[in-house]
Amino acid sequence: MRPHLAVAAAAGLAQTVTVVVQAVLLATVIERCLRGRTTTSDVTPQLVGLGAAIAARGMLGWVGDWVGQRTSASVAGALRRRLLSRVLDLGPSWLAGERAGELALTATSGVDAVGVYFGRYLPQLILAALAPIAVLAWVAYTDWVSLLVLVGLVALVPPAIIFFGRRATEAATRQWRGLSSLSAHLLELVQGLPTLRAFGRVDYGRREVAEAAEGLRRSTLRTLRVAFLSSLALELLAGLGTGIVAMVLGLRLLGGHTSLYVALAVLLVSPEVFLPLRRASAEFHTSAEGKTAGERIAAVLETAPPRAVTVQGAPAPDAGQTIRFDRVTVELSGRGPALDNLSFRVDPGRRVAIVGPSGSGKSTALHAVLGLVAVSSGTILAGSVDLSSADWDAWRRQVSWVPQRPHLFAGSVADNVRLANPEAHDEAVAEAVRTAGLDAAADRLAHGLETPVGEGGALLSAGERQRVAIARAVLHGGRIVLLDEIGSHLDEAALDRLRESVEPWLRDRTVIVAAHHPDVISGLDDVVKLGSPVSAASTSGPEL
């Protein structure tokens, strides 16, 4: 990334050099033509050089853009993968404390903003520091009086940016509340159209829309009036730079204290002192966005993942053995114990229910079996293998899990069923769909199993989403089945139908079900009761 930055800054600096060359050549040609009877052929080299200098400036701009884009893309790509890998390492227990929408926005447009910060803003910032110095150095060499004028004006740039920048931030903060509430009002009026129609108040709604739009215009303009001040100040200083330099040069020419060549060349170069500063200031907004996102991303990357859950070369536990919870406690960072000292055992082919009120740790116990949360103390054993030092990938291949609130991924119903086994045959998918009782829902959908599920499964009902999760678990084919609150979205009759269709699949498998009531599945061998509140609960289970 650093060489990219150097190339981009060098290209910018070279552009500045072409401007100086261009000014020198133009001044030379004009001076020679005005001084004597010069023909075009006398100044051909200068004319060609002039055209070439202008064109070269364009080419260098191209190089700068290209390198900047490359930098942005490579920074963003690498950062996104690192960020998301870390998110997965941190796992569900960390994610539970985060807002998914905000995190996703950080991983998409936030990461892009960081890329733009490195690709575009940083080179521009370097150039804003170097280019004026380079131009001023040339002016000092050519005409020190003009140097004094320009230095005097450039010195005013930073205080102007700081002063007006602060005012602009204050104005934006002042207006923000009003702006966002007007935007929200516009949205509620459009979303509330059914209510407006039902009560015959459409005209009121239209009036309010017009008024909110007018209010938005007025308060936005109030903000802009201040926000545009810093570019007004910069442009004013740049204009004055040319104007005052022209005046001083003109007066000195009258007295014969300088030459036409010097006057023209300095005049043409003077705007270039301010241009990089104006560009960097115009990019200030993008830079602020990139900086904010960068801080957020750094905070995530600096969060240490919970105790490692996957160990290389670890023994593969066998799901055909007894599963034993021995005084298992799970502490979630900053939120106290989610599961406290739980002990129980499930023999192969048996069914155990973990019951208790909401928040008593039922789901956490299932998550611990899957290694989705790290066990703080105690052990979970599969046969004689301690899961905390086992090959989790091999273990998870033997465990079928139906989460309480299953997530559906972008794609069709069938894609979602295939999550664990994308190469599964159509017949296997159809069988899993039948087992989960999803076939009736598929008939209702426009394109059956090929119907897209919508964002987060929005096009399916809660009950249908859960049936997709069951079909997914069936297709996964684990010998251990973890069911988390499967009845909560279904009415009594639907639950009966589900029990009936799932029963043959559950037969001969080891089943752990988390539920409010133990009657959620039949044929239970044991019931583990969890108390409430969580941290105070002394959980007891059947004898080990």
Partner 1 sequence: MSPGTDGSTASTVRRLIAVSPPPWGRLAGALGLGVAASAATIGLLAGSGALVDKAATRPGLGAIAGLLAVVEVIAFARAPLRYAERLSAHDAGFRALAGWRVWLFDRLEPLSPAPLRTWRSGDVARRAVADVDALSDLYLRALGPLVLAIVVSALAVCVVGVLVPGTALVLGLALVVALVGAPAIAWSARQTDAERSAAGSLHADVVDLVQGAPELIAFGRASVQLDRIEGATRRLADSSRRRARANGAVTALVAACMGGAVTGVLVLAIDALRGHRLEPIMLAVLPLTALGSFEVVPPLAAAASGLAEVVTAGRRLLALDDLPRPVSDPADPQAPPTGAPEVRMQDATLRYGPGLPVALDGVSLALPPGSATALVGPSGAGKSSVLNALLRFWPLESGRAMADGVALDAMAQADARSLFAPVDQDAQLFAGTIRENVAFARPDASDADIDEAVRRAQLDEWVAGLPSGLDTPIGERGALLSGGQRQRVALARALLAHRPVLLLDEPGAGLDAEMAAALLDDVLGAAGERTVLVISHRREEIERFARVVEIDAGRVVGRRWGAAEPSASPPP
Q: Which two tokens stand for residue 277?
A: 């500063």
Span near partner 1 by CB under 8 A; candidates 98-106, 148-156, 500-508, 526-534: 98-106
Residue closer to partner 1 by CB (options 217, 507) is 217
Binds partner 1 (CB under 8 A): choice among 6, 193, 282, 298: 193
Residue closer to partner 1 by CB (options 262, 354) is 262
Q: Does 295 bind partner 1 (CB under 8 A)?
A: no
Report 57-86 residues binding partner 1 (CB under 8 A): 57-59, 61-63, 65-66, 68-70, 72-73, 76-77, 80-81, 84-85
The CB-of-415 to partner 1 minimum distance in angstroms stands at: 11
Report 21-50 residues binding partner 1 (CB under 8 A): 26, 29-30, 33-34, 37-40, 43, 47-48, 50
Side chain identity, residue 119: G
Q: How many amino acids of this chain bind partner 1 (CB under 8 A)?
A: 147
* Backbone phi, psi, residue 148, to 5°: -60, -45
Q: Where are the alpha helices (DSSP H) in 192-283?
A: 193-198, 202-227, 229-254, 260-282
Binds partner 1 (CB under 8 A): choice among 1, 6, 97, 108: 108
Span near partner 1 by CB under 8 A; candidates 90-98, 328-336, 354-362, 536-544: 90-98
The CB-of-190 to partner 1 minimum distance in angstroms stands at: 4
Which positions from 449 to 488 touch partner 1 by CB under 8 A, shown as an x/- string? ---x-xxx-xx-xxx--------x---x------------
Q: Does 163 bind partner 1 (CB under 8 A)?
A: no
Side chain identity, residue 110: G
Q: What is the largest CA-CA distance in the chain?
A: 114
Residue closer to partner 1 by CB (options 17, 95) is 95
Residue closer to partner 1 by CB (options 324, 367) is 367
Q: Does 5 bind partner 1 (CB under 8 A)?
A: no
Please report, in angstroms and rounded to a whole number, the separation of the first and last CA atoms in the chain: 59
Q: Which long-range contacts (CB under 8 A, 24 or more apart) does 181-187 make?
A: 182/212, 182/215, 182/216, 182/219, 183/216, 185/212, 186/212, 186/213, 186/216
Q: Does 156 bind partner 1 (CB under 8 A)?
A: no
Give 189-212 as a DSSP string.
HHHTHHHHHHTT-HHHHHHHHHHH
Q: Which two tokens stand for residue 286?
A: 């993008």
Q: Does 51 bind partner 1 (CB under 8 A)?
A: yes
The CB-of-266 to partner 1 minimum distance in angstroms stands at: 9
CB–CB of 93/284 below 8 Å?
no
Q: Which uninterrupted H or E stretch holds 381?
A: strand 377-382
Q: Does 332 bind partner 1 (CB under 8 A)?
A: no
Residues near 147 by Cβ (< 8 Å), separated by ≥ 6?
136, 139, 140
Q: Which two tokens stand for residue 113?
A: 């903003």
The CB-of-542 to partner 1 minimum distance in angstroms stands at: 26
Binds partner 1 (CB under 8 A): choice among 263, 280, 314, 433: 263
Report 383-412 residues binding partner 1 (CB under 8 A): 393, 396-397, 399, 401, 403, 406-410
Apex CA 459: angle with CA 453 and CA 461, to 5°? Answer: 110
Residue closer to partner 1 by CB (options 48, 155) is 48
Residue closer to partner 1 by CB (options 384, 532) is 532
Residue with tokens 């069936």: 474
Residue closer to partner 1 by CB (options 169, 181) is 181
Rounded to whole angstroms, the Cα distance separating 386 from 323 reads 10
Q: Does 13 bind partner 1 (CB under 8 A)?
A: no
> Would you call 314 helix, strand, or coil by DSSP?
coil
Binds partner 1 (CB under 8 A): choice among 2, 3, 45, 200: 200
What is the DSSP secondary structure assignment for residue 531, as one 8-state letter?
A: -
Span near partner 1 by CB under 8 A; candidates 131-139, 202-210, 498-506, 509-517: 202-210
CB–CB of 126/283 below 8 Å?
no
Binds partner 1 (CB under 8 A): choice among 155, 213, 282, 301: 213
CB–CB of 363/481 below 8 Å?
no
Binds partner 1 (CB under 8 A): choice among 6, 97, 148, 181: 181
Rounded to whole angstroms, the Cα distance separating 50 from 57 reads 11
Binds partner 1 (CB under 8 A): choice among 220, 303, 321, 379: 220
Alpha carbon dihedral 487, 491, 416, 93, in 10-degree steps, equals -40
- Strand order from edge to edge, sheet including 510-515: 399-402, 480-484, 510-515, 351-355, 526-529
Q: Which two tokens stand for residue 532?
A: 């409430």
> Would you call 400 helix, strand, or coil by DSSP?
strand
The CB-of-412 to partner 1 minimum distance in angstroms stands at: 13
Nearest to 293 by CA among 130, 529, 102: 102
Residue closer to partner 1 by CB (options 371, 378) is 371
The CB-of-357 to partner 1 minimum distance in angstroms stands at: 14
